[in-house]
Structure 1
Amino acid sequence: FAYMLLLLLCDVLYYKFQISVIDPDETLRHGYNFSMALDSGSAFTVGMDYGFNFYDGDFSKPQEQAQIDKFEHAYKQLGLAPGMRLLDCGCGCVDWIPWLASKGVETV
């Protein structure tokens, strides 16, 4: 709780008074690391589920499989293939990037 309060205080100082206490890139990195610490997964396993995994009505499906199903769906819908490049806009907890690398897709 204290860490989140510190981040909030840093944001208030930055946006209200233009006082930069810590580097914004470092703050972002810590925010992702903090959310990953709340879950037992890692960046290449289950990671965080923000409610967008594919359960397709089967909520007994393991979270890991639901996440893989989501990745496979997006991979097919985007028409990705090994050797292609994909621009990542940096939204999420990076679980998608190692999965793409395992399929031979380079991310930028």
Structure 2
Amino acid sequence: MKKDTPIQIKNRFINSVDPIGNIRYHAHPTLDLAILIFEGFNNKIYDGHVTFVTNPDKIAQGRYLCRLGYPFPEFNNFEFNEVNDDIEWNNTGNVASPRFPIDGIISRFAA
């Protein structure tokens, strides 16, 4: 891949809402973070959601944190459609990568 090579990223939000209608997002300008807002769905499939710390004094360097993530690139349920020049999801391959708690620590604050 070179600097001017076009790339395409697709996401699948497994066990989130049904059907996924519109997704609004608020991306952080410098960090790899965003808040997603799912709109136009009929049913929620999840049991819980993230909560944010209300007391900023509890956010300190050295404090332990844990997030749920997908550390393994096991998703292979997609294929390239040459006719449409597009990546498409399919029902073959591994459709569900296991979720793992990923340990971390607050190391610094970035503005």
**Shorter chain as normaliser: what TM range?**
under 0.3
More strand by share: 2
More helix by share: 1
TM-score between the two structures when normalised by the length of structure 1: 0.21
